[in-house]
Amino acid sequence: RAFLDEMEAALQSREFVLFYQPQVDLQSGEVLGAEALIRWQHPTRGLLPPGAFLACLNGSHLEAPLGEWVMETALTQLRNWQALGLHTRVSVNISANHLLRADFCERLAQTLARYPDVAASRLELEVLETAAIGEMRQAVDILHNCMELGVRFALDDFGTGYSSLTYLRQLPVHTLKIDQSFVRDMLVDPDDRGIVRGIIELAKAFDRQIVAEGVETMAHAVALRQLGCHHVQGYGIARPMPAAQFPDWCAEWL
């Protein structure tokens, strides 16, 4: 409770920040966009990772306000980058409870309306695979309605949620993000390599884009390319960085 109060105050006093981790196409060299990852710049404890505070937030009255702050901040950032001539995409993580709120789409529409010069398609919402299939019917409706606003959706941590093919076909998502646990061990574990290959084939069959997460080494990137996956994100490309560094990073990349 005390911790939640502290987080509420932190939200007011703007202590949360978003870091950005690039997603790139290794074949074309293009920077596709960046995933926004929240941090808490705590006045006494330093920069806190999401693992230190998100669990406490989930299920609380702050879950939706924080999620809305994340989307608003990402849109502001997109507008600022656009003014610099940097036309990119930002993916934000949306928690299950937040997504499934009855007013999610309506509030998203209001938020987008405050950024008329930013195309909604530059905002991608990452939803956990497990969240989407947990409340399948609701999720399908919400995703359809939000997609009419022009935003994109990605299924996060894909491969960990036991989606049936029927579910996948029903879910209107542009992108599947291969969970980093499979990518990490794909060079040494044939089962994981098989899972990665399967997800890539699945994405092709269903005409979805794919992003491999947790790409830490060139060897991972090469193995992914052999399987037909060029869109990657991970420490091997870049670590999550403050927004101010992203334009320079893009200019120096390739």
Q: Select from Na ion, ligand G, none the partner in contact with residue 124, using the beta carbon and a kind-dependent cut-off of 5 to 8 Å.
A: none
Q: Select from ligand G, Na ion, none the partner in contact with residue 198, using the beta carbon and a kind-dependent cut-off of 5 to 8 Å.
A: none
Number of Cβ within 10 Å of residue 37's Cβ equals 19
Contact between 213 and ligand G per CB under 6 A: yes
Q: Which of 49, 134, 150, 242 binds ligand G (CB under 6 A)?
A: 49
Contact between 38 and ligand G per CB under 6 A: yes
Nearest distance in Å: CB 85, ligand G: 26
Tokens 């997109």 correspond to 78
Contact between 213 and Na ion per CB under 5 A: no
Are the C-beta atoms of residues 181 and 148 closer than 8 Å to each other? no
Q: Select from Na ion, ligand G, none the partner in contact with residue 216, using the beta carbon and a kind-dependent cut-off of 5 to 8 Å.
A: ligand G
Contact between 156 and Na ion per CB under 5 A: yes
Q: Select from Na ion, ligand G, none the partner in contact with residue 38, using the beta carbon and a kind-dependent cut-off of 5 to 8 Å.
A: ligand G
Q: Select from Na ion, ligand G, none the partner in contact with residue 99, using the beta carbon and a kind-dependent cut-off of 5 to 8 Å.
A: none
Q: Which of residues 109-128 bind Na ion (CB under 5 A)?
A: 126
Tell me the residue nearest to ligand G as measured from the CB: 234
Nearest distance in Å: CB 35, Na ion: 6
Number of Cβ within 10 Å of residue 141's Cβ equals 12
Q: Which of 4, 11, 54, 147 binds ligand G (CB under 6 A)?
A: 54
Tokens in use for 138?
Answer: 């609701």
In angstroms, the CA 130 to CA 111 distance is 26
Taken as a whole, the chain contains a residue count of 254
Q: Which of 73, 88, 93, 175 binds ligand G (CB under 6 A)?
A: 93
Q: Which of 21, 93, 163, 233 binds Na ion (CB under 5 A)?
A: 93
Burial 56-88 (b: 16+ CB within 10 A, else e): ebeebebbbebbbbbbebbbebbeebbeeeeeb
Number of residues that bind ligand G (CB under 6 A): 20
Contact between 157 and ligand G per CB under 6 A: yes
Which residues bind to ligand G, rule: CB under 6 A? 21, 37-38, 49-51, 54, 70, 93, 95, 156-157, 180, 213-216, 234-235, 240
